[in-house]
Amino acid sequence: MKVLSIKQPWAELILQNKKKIELRKWNTKFRGKFLIHSSKTPDKKAMEKFGFCDLPNGFIVGQAELTEVKIYPNDKELLKDKNLHLAETGWGDKGFILKNPKRIKKIKQKGNLGFWEFNKKWE
């Protein structure tokens, strides 16, 4: 199954269904279910901003479905969806639209860039 590494607290905010768009600087043709991996290193500034102090890092923590990619032509358009991606400008102009987030039992795992394959049994 495909996996996407996402820094904390962003991975947690997706699992709480508070973050519905994941911003990236690259596009993908992939659509469908994927696993969410919490990167080894958290985004400390965002952890503080959203009131988190201890979240799992270096684990597959959940799954979600990527249904479409929204291209933002400029920062003005990007900021219109701020309540869906929760980020400032500069994170990327491609918005991965996420649906049906679900927490799973944590699996210790090293991450990778982009979408990557996880072929071990996980449910």
**Predicted pLDDT of residue 123:** 61
How many Å apart are CA 25 and CA 33, to the nearest integer? 20
What is the residue range of 21's domain? 2-104
What sign has the CA pseudo-torsion 90, 37, 113, 101?
negative
What are 34-71's pLDDT values in tens digits? 999 999 999 999 999 999 999 999 999 999 999 999 99
The verdict on residue 27 lying in a domain is yes
The verdict on residue 64 lying in a domain is yes
Lowest mean pLDDT segment, chosen from 16-20, 31-35, 89-93, 109-113: 89-93
Overall average pLDDT of the 91-102 stretch: 96
Instruction: Kindly give, in sequence order, each residue whose CB lies less than 8 Å from that of residue 43, ignoring residues fewer than 6 positions away.
Output: 7, 8, 9, 10
**Alpha carbon of residue 43 to chain centroid:** 12
Q: Map tokens 């982009």 to a residue.
A: 114
Paired strand residues for 93: none
- Count up the domains in the chain and report the number: 1
